[in-house]
């Protein structure tokens, strides 16, 4: 990517502006699929503050909604007895 000189001038500027954020996201320990949902929660409806930290209280409703909006996700993410208790999150 950047080190291979594949970025346009504009892309390189954006990369350098948010490099610390990207490094932090990459280092944050979390299952990759869940990390993507949290990142989506950060991007959805946060216009100019998408790059700022998000609390679990902010992310939880979005995260739960995302995981339960399709039958396939419900079956995968709420398959065992303990996670079925989380199906009706409030």
| Residue 84 belongs to domain spanning | 31-90
> Are 21 and 35 contained in the same domain?
no
The H-or-E segment that residue 33 falls in is helix 32-43
* Burial (0-12, 13-18, 19+ Cβ within 10 Å), 57: exposed
pTM of the model: 0.55
Cβ 78 vs Cβ 72: under 8 Å: no
> Are 58 and 78 contained in the same domain?
yes
pLDDT tens for 23-74 read 887 887 766 677 788 888 888 877 778 878 888 888 888 888 888 888 777 7
Average pLDDT over residues 79-86: 63
The angle, 0 to 180 degrees and rounded to 10, between the axes of the packed helices 32-43 and 56-68 is 110
> Are 39 and 74 contained in the same domain?
yes
């Amino acid at each position: 990517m950047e080190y291979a000189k594949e970025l346009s001038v504009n892309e390189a500027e954006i990369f350098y502006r948010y490099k610390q954020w990207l490094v932090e996201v990459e280092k944050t320990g979390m299952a990759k699929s869940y990390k993507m949902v949290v990142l989506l929660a950060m991007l959805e409806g946060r216009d100019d503050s998408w790059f700022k930290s998000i609390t679990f209280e902010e992310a939880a409703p979005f995260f739960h909604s995302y995981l339960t909006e399709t039958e396939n996700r419900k079956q995968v993410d709420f398959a065992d007895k303990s996670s079925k208790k989380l199906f009706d999150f409030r």
